[in-house]
Structure 1
């Protein structure tokens, strides 16, 4: 195995471990359980949920925008070629 390939695979597993570790921290912590939350604590958890939903929506819309712009660009090129003929 090439050294660079080994480094890439190692980084892939390290990224997986860090992501899983950070993602499971809220599940294991009582502070993040909404059933036990009251008042300001509930509001903070709600804002955190809204922020995470915004990140997912933003990433999804960015992904869709790039693909839509590529499709629009190809359609515009087809129309300009047809107009020249």
Structure 2
């Protein structure tokens, strides 16, 4: 996840410089991956799709078939959210 920083105490309406997403949108994408249910891309904006694909790639998760991801594959993201 080189280039992405933790959200931490950032302002709720501050856009992330790298992804052009609000902190809530970043967390929504992380929640989708953690759910291990492949999202319907037409319900996501293009910035969310790009972030989703990059985040999946960082954790070695197949973004076309999220159901195949193990719980271990997605648990590392929780460490980033809570850290």
Shorter-chain TM-score tier: under 0.3
More helix by share: 1
Q: Normalising to structure 1: TM-score of the pair?
A: 0.26
Bigger relative CO (Cα 8 Å, ≥ 6 apart): 2
Kindly name which structure, 1 or 2, has the bigger radius of gyration based on alpha carbons: 1
